[in-house]
Chain A
Amino acid sequence: MQTFNYLRPAHLDELCQALQQPHAKIVAGGTDVLPQMHTGRLQPALLVDISRVSELEGIRIHNTQVEIGALTTFAAIQAHPTLRAAAPALTQAAQWVGAPMTRQRATLGGNLANASPAADAVPPLMIYNAEVTLTSAKGSRSLPLAQFLLGPGQTALQRGEFIQSVRFELPAEDLGSAFLKIGPRRGMTIAIVSAAAAVRLSPEGRLEQVRVAVGASAPTVIRCPQTENLLHGQLPSAELWQSAAQQIAVEISPIDDVRASRAYRRRAAGVLAVRALQAALSQAQEAAQARTV
């Protein structure tokens, strides 16, 4: 059993204060923190429970700006109608997190701060070019997600800082997007590999605004710019998809672990990313058709 101090601030300013204390460890939904404490891997001296800081909750949409509070659960994200319509990759990723019980507790902020290369929320947020708002007693700053995630378990969070929210521009209607995941099993599973993709179709039927992010295949979730460049401006074809899959395999740097080998990840990442692109594409096509009708 561990002993630790425990603080539960009710407001942002109290939270800022609490985090001034040395060795403060934030807990939100606790779905990462508690298992780590159970195994003894994490032995915090002070737990700061942010679950009552209401300013950190909720999904707000102003015009095309989406802001998701750090405390928002995956259950809430999954159920949000606007996100489902305009940012389906995020909805799909939310649906994949753990099981229904997990999603009731697990928060977006926790998923990002935990910085797992397999974190499900990250690939979709990467293709939506999301930024993270970090706050401390000194003020707030914003970072693109790719600059926030530094390595497995490592983030740009500084002492006293916390994630306040995640922001991104709501994708235009004609940008299709999708998230896919392969795990060792179908439910309650950590990704062997995951992928999110977004794409738009030009009036000539060419791929535009191609974005691909792959999870569990590098020290952090990564965007695959070379693959994106390779696809940009091209007409979709079987050969094109094949070379995209090959390019993905080159761009990632997976490892062997208990869930799968590096070799499997290379193959599966290509397959999955291409399937995500195809799903995004057919969504974009539907949007295009809807417009012409």
Chain B
Amino acid sequence: MTEVVGKIIQRVDAVSKVRGEALYPGDIQMDGQVHMKILFSHRPHAIVKRIDTSLAEQMPGVLAVLTAKDVPVNEYGLIVADQPVLCGPGASKPFTDRVRFVGDQVAVIVAETEAIAAQARDAIHVEYEDLPIVTDPLAAMKPDAFLLHPDRGSNVFGHYRIRKGDAEAALKEAYVVVEGVYDTPAQEHVFLQPEAGLGYMDEEGRVTVVVAGQWTHEDQEQIAHALNLPLERVRVIYPAIGGAFGGREDMSVQIVLGLAVLRLSERGIHRPVKIVWTREESMFGHHKRHPYHIRTRWGATREGKIIAADVDVYADGGAYIYTSTKVLGNATLMCTGPYEIPNVRVDSYAIYTNSIPNGAFRGFGGPQGAFAAESQMNKLAEALGMDPVEIRRRNLLQEGSLLSVGTPLPKGVSIQAVVEACAQEAGWQLEDANYVLPENKKPVQISSAHKKRGRGFACAFKNVGFSFGAPENCWATIELHGKDKVEEAVLYHAGAEVGQGAHTVFLQMAAEALGLPLTRVRLVASDTAVTENSGSVSASRMTFMAGNAIRGAAQEALQKWINEERPARATFQYRPPKTTPYDPETGKSEPNFSYGYVAEAVDIEVDVETGQIRLLNVICADDVGKAINPRLVQGQIEGAVVQAAGYAILENFIQQNGEVITKTLSTYLIPTVLDIPDQVQSVIMEHPDPIGPWGARGMGEMPFLPLVPAITAALHAATGVWFDRFPLTPERVLEGLQQGK
């Protein structure tokens, strides 16, 4: 029995956030602060021939104008340093003088006021020589395509292969083969707080950046690398963070703030530098969810056993790599779904284009893979005249079954139970050992002739933690104060609170591990000066990783306490089981050490004359292993469903020839309270992960994955038409219905 873990506890940051007391980077004011503006390229592809900053520099109130030549090591990138900090001539690295998307940064201006900085920015004259604009990833793959990064030799920067059995031969033998071509759209994170931050020299002479990110220590490394400083000369602090969803994994204002602090201090100016991006800057300045193009053929036996999957996957990477190769890794694994398929061929590619870079976003390749896989599954069910739940049940991964990459899942495979729980909640029943949705459980049609209702089903699996051999670990430090008994425990942890409730569950897990009431545990968080590396809040990993680290630290601290150390302080690094990368030829690998499993049933109503869709009800069954805080789990499920609902029916990030058309929230539309499902039912399941803290698995992304294919299945149930492309705007739906007739 646990005391604190598993309980609904009010978030520790709730009151300060509701009262508006929590300080987000944009809210922080420092004495003597000066203001920064960035000159963005606003050009999709060009060579920067010349930058004339003289007018800007002469303006009263301007303290500094910095360009490429001022950046010590003019490159950065989470995985590959392929992006200049500032694009322009004068850097030692070749091709740094190019801008490759509209949000490339060309100059930074520091001035007494924001207004002066903006004026000075507008007074900078840049001469560009335009280059051909490459926007279609498939065209960009061709040998004669114009290269975005000539030094890399190709626009294709990522490629994986999976070869398991003989897919081609098996497809010939299949009773049915279903072919599909799927396209998924770009999606913008629209976190509430646009990018913002402050930079200053701290009392120990460290270049300090206060910013909202997802991984303090990675930010620190990227800043140190570009500024050519030793790590310990750079400090990163996260105050309150206004949402992230993967959108803060890569650098935005971090390096340029550090750069300005460094250069100003060299000129004897020791004043904090502040920047706040406008929403529009945020919309074109940071990466998006990748658009994917997936072509696939699946074959099955008459009994609905899938025998082959053959898939080609193309990811539009945009102008720089960001996390694309990792996202592609996930999509490559997930494009064949949580099913055991004996014969699989996958070829996947990530490709440079002059679109905004694409990168991390809740689900990280999973949603795109799941859309193709689950759509295929639903079409196979139709082709065989089988129930969509029943066909899944016959193919789901079990304990010991082999993934497409030739290895079994880690122990604790629960997708079968999750699918059945969701299906039963949605009205499916076992009849003669087969799942069926009885007529009387189907959505009740309303009398209106132009409104049709349908129910759709989909499921998914998603890794917890970094995959495919990426170094994975997490630190925690615990300090116990007091004399005879522990008066106070302090947990030092870098993990970012991006709104998901991480800090609350950290404290719950620490209290549980120490056997203390929650009120005696205090958290010092997200400051590289006092906390050790936690890894990023991404990949649904933070509860899992932090929990194991906290447990380890608690055990050691308690031991030291018994040994009468005062304060008793222990630092622990948790390392999960090792994973391995794709074999370049066959894809064979041990991709992940933990998974979460999820299934969703969705009821929709479609107006067949206008194409409008209403989401009536979503049932989400999610195996979270252990709900450390059930209310936060429910919040994540509902939040993910809402965000995925926007992805499914509304959010349409439009770029034309490298220009962003939807730069504002009046053209890029996210759901309002009237657009979200009328109801979301969370079915929280707890099949423990054998290596999770208290059995917990990650869960922040999982409920996002199955929603779109469940919605298109519901739309098919209502209208008989499949949709292989979304968002399902009224226009697209109406067009599809007309063509489908």
B-contacting residues of A (Cβ < 8 Å)? 1, 99, 182, 184-190, 192, 258-261, 264, 267-268, 271-272
Q: Which residue of A lies closest to B666 (CB)?
A: A190
B580 within 8 A of A: no
B730 touching A260, Cβ below 8 Å: yes
Please tell me which one of the listed residues B662, B673, B675, B731 contacts residue A260 in the complex, with CB atoms under 8 A apart: B731
How many A-B pairs with Cβ below 8 Å? 49
B30 within 8 A of A: no
B729 within 8 A of A: yes
Contacting residues, chain B, for A185 (C-beta < 8 A):
650, 669, 671-672, 674-675
Given A258-B661, A271-B609, A99 contacting B672 (CB threshold 8 A):
yes
Within the complex, the shortest CB–CB distance from B568 to chain A, in Å, comes to: 53
Within the complex, the shortest CB–CB distance from A181 to chain B, in Å, comes to: 11
Within the complex, the shortest CB–CB distance from A38 to chain B, in Å, comes to: 9
Please tell me which one of the listed residues B114, B667, B673 contacts residue A258 in the complex, with CB atoms under 8 A apart: B667
Instruction: List 17 other contacts, CB 8 Å, given A259-B667, A268-B734.
Output: A1-B114, A182-B730, A185-B672, A185-B674, A187-B673, A187-B675, A188-B672, A192-B730, A258-B662, A258-B667, A260-B729, A260-B730, A260-B731, A264-B611, A264-B731, A267-B734, A271-B609
B650 touching A184, Cβ below 8 Å: yes
A182 touching B671, Cβ below 8 Å: no
Contacting residues, chain A, for B609 (C-beta < 8 A):
271
B54 within 8 A of A: no
A-contacting residues of B (Cβ < 8 Å)? 114-115, 609-612, 650, 654, 661-662, 666-667, 669, 671-675, 729-731, 734-735
Within the complex, the shortest CB–CB distance from A2 to chain B, in Å, comes to: 10
Provide the bound-state CA to CA distance between A1 and B115, in Å.
6
Contacting residues, chain A, for B666 (C-beta < 8 A):
190
Q: Which residue of B lies closest to A190 (CB)?
A: B666
Provide the bound-state CA to CA distance between A261 and B675, in Å.
22
B650 touching A268, Cβ below 8 Å: no
Contacting residues, chain A, for B115 (C-beta < 8 A):
1
Contacting residues, chain B, for A182 (C-beta < 8 A):
610, 612, 730
A268 touching B654, Cβ below 8 Å: no
List the 7 closest pairs (A to B, CB-CB), nearest first.
Answer: A187-B674, A187-B672, A186-B674, A264-B731, A271-B609, A185-B675, A1-B115
B734 touching A264, Cβ below 8 Å: yes
Contacting residues, chain B, for A261 (C-beta < 8 A):
731
Contacting residues, chain B, for A186 (C-beta < 8 A):
672, 674-675
Contacting residues, chain B, for A272 (C-beta < 8 A):
610
Contacting residues, chain A, for B671 (C-beta < 8 A):
185
Q: Which residue of A lies closest to B673 (CB)?
A: A187
Please tell me which one of the listed residues A184, A268, A271 contacts residue B669 in the complex, with CB atoms under 8 A apart: A184
Within the complex, the shortest CB–CB distance from A254 to chain B, in Å, comes to: 12
Provide the bound-state CA to CA distance between A188 and B673, in Å.
10
Contacting residues, chain A, for B669 (C-beta < 8 A):
184-185, 189
Q: Which residue of A lies closest to B661 (CB)?
A: A258
Within the complex, the shortest CB–CB distance from B731 to chain A, in Å, comes to: 4
Q: Which residue of A lies closest to B735 (CB)?
A: A264
Contacting residues, chain A, for B672 (C-beta < 8 A):
99, 185-188
Provide the bound-state CA to CA distance between A182 and B729, in Å.
11
Contacting residues, chain A, for B731 (C-beta < 8 A):
260-261, 264
Q: Which residue of A lies closest to B119 (CB)?
A: A1
Q: Which residue of A lies closest to B646 (CB)?
A: A185
Provide the bound-state CA to CA distance between A99 and B673, in Å.
10
Residue of A185, A264, A271 ringed by the most chain B CB atoms within 10 A? A185
Q: Which residue of B lies closest to A193 (CB)?
A: B610
A271 touching B661, Cβ below 8 Å: no
Contacting residues, chain A, for B734 (C-beta < 8 A):
264, 267-268
Contacting residues, chain A, for B661 (C-beta < 8 A):
258
Contacting residues, chain A, for B114 (C-beta < 8 A):
1
Q: List 27 A-B contacts (CB under 8 A).
A: A1-B114, A182-B730, A184-B650, A184-B729, A184-B730, A185-B650, A185-B671, A185-B672, A185-B674, A185-B675, A186-B674, A187-B674, A187-B675, A189-B669, A190-B666, A258-B662, A259-B667, A260-B729, A260-B730, A260-B731, A261-B731, A264-B731, A267-B734, A268-B610, A268-B611, A271-B610, A272-B610
Contacting residues, chain B, for A268 (C-beta < 8 A):
610-611, 730, 734
Within the complex, the shortest CB–CB distance from A78 to chain B, in Å, comes to: 16
Q: Which residue of A lies closest to B654 (CB)?
A: A258
Q: Which residue of B lies closest to A271 (CB)?
A: B609
Q: Which residue of B lies closest to A35 (CB)?
A: B666
Contacting residues, chain B, for A271 (C-beta < 8 A):
609-610
Provide the bound-state CA to CA distance between A184 and B734, in Å.
13
Residue of A1, A186, A272 ringed by the most chain B CB atoms within 10 A? A186
Provide the bound-state CA to CA distance between A184 and B649, in Å.
9
Contacting residues, chain B, for A189 (C-beta < 8 A):
669
Provide the bound-state CA to CA distance between A229 and B729, in Å.
34
Provide the bound-state CA to CA distance between A258 and B672, in Å.
19
Q: Which residue of A lies closest to B649 (CB)?
A: A185
Provide the bound-state CA to CA distance between A197 and B661, in Å.
34
Contacting residues, chain B, for A187 (C-beta < 8 A):
672-675
Contacting residues, chain B, for A192 (C-beta < 8 A):
730
Within the complex, the shortest CB–CB distance from B176 to chain A, in Å, comes to: 35
B730 touching A264, Cβ below 8 Å: yes
Within the complex, the shortest CB–CB distance from B549 to chain A, in Å, comes to: 42
Contacting residues, chain B, for A99 (C-beta < 8 A):
672
Provide the bound-state CA to CA distance between A289 and B669, in Å.
44
Within the complex, the shortest CB–CB distance from A22 to chain B, in Å, comes to: 26
Q: Which residue of B lies closest to A259 (CB)?
A: B667
Within the complex, the shortest CB–CB distance from A113 to chain B, in Å, comes to: 20
Contacting residues, chain A, for B610 (C-beta < 8 A):
182, 268, 271-272
Within the complex, the shortest CB–CB distance from B633 to chain A, in Å, comes to: 28
Within the complex, the shortest CB–CB distance from B656 to chain A, in Å, comes to: 10
Contacting residues, chain B, for A264 (C-beta < 8 A):
611, 730-731, 734-735
Within the complex, the shortest CB–CB distance from A276 to chain B, in Å, comes to: 13
Contacting residues, chain A, for B650 (C-beta < 8 A):
184-185
Within the complex, the shortest CB–CB distance from A256 to chain B, in Å, comes to: 11
Contacting residues, chain B, for A259 (C-beta < 8 A):
667
Provide the bound-state CA to CA distance between A272 and B450, in Å.
12
Provide the bound-state CA to CA distance between A268 and B666, in Å.
21
Q: Which residue of A lies closest to B650 (CB)?
A: A185
Provide the bound-state CA to CA distance between A186 and B609, in Å.
16
Provide the bound-state CA to CA distance between A184 and B729, in Å.
7
Provide the bound-state CA to CA distance between A258 and B650, in Å.
12
Provide the bound-state CA to CA distance between A207 and B612, in Å.
29
Provide the bound-state CA to CA distance between A188 and B665, in Å.
11
Contacting residues, chain A, for B674 (C-beta < 8 A):
185-187
Q: Which residue of B lies closest to A261 (CB)?
A: B731
Q: Which residue of B lies closest to A184 (CB)?
A: B669
Provide the bound-state CA to CA distance between A34 and B190, in Å.
22
Within the complex, the shortest CB–CB distance from A223 to chain B, in Å, comes to: 22
Q: Which residue of A lies closest to B671 (CB)?
A: A185
Within the complex, the shortest CB–CB distance from A263 to chain B, in Å, comes to: 8
Within the complex, the shortest CB–CB distance from B668 to chain A, in Å, comes to: 9
Contacting residues, chain B, for A1 (C-beta < 8 A):
114-115
Within the complex, the shortest CB–CB distance from B51 to chain A, in Å, comes to: 24
Q: Which residue of B lies closest to A258 (CB)?
A: B667
Within the complex, the shortest CB–CB distance from B104 to chain A, in Å, comes to: 22
Provide the bound-state CA to CA distance between A272 and B610, in Å.
8
Contacting residues, chain B, for A258 (C-beta < 8 A):
654, 661-662, 667
Contacting residues, chain B, for A260 (C-beta < 8 A):
729-731
Provide the bound-state CA to CA distance between A18 and B672, in Å.
40
Within the complex, the shortest CB–CB distance from B249 to chain A, in Å, comes to: 28
Q: Which residue of A lies closest to B729 (CB)?
A: A184
Q: Which residue of A lies closest to B676 (CB)?
A: A186
Within the complex, the shortest CB–CB distance from B70 to chain A, in Å, comes to: 28
Contacting residues, chain B, for A188 (C-beta < 8 A):
672
Provide the bound-state CA to CA distance between A259 and B612, in Å.
13
Within the complex, the shortest CB–CB distance from B662 to chain A, in Å, comes to: 7
Within the complex, the shortest CB–CB distance from B402 to chain A, in Å, comes to: 44
Residue of A187, A258, A260 ringed by the most chain B CB atoms within 10 A? A258
Q: Which residue of B lies closest to A1 (CB)?
A: B115
Within the complex, the shortest CB–CB distance from A108 to chain B, in Å, comes to: 21
Provide the bound-state CA to CA distance between A272 and B730, in Å.
13
Within the complex, the shortest CB–CB distance from A203 to chain B, in Å, comes to: 29
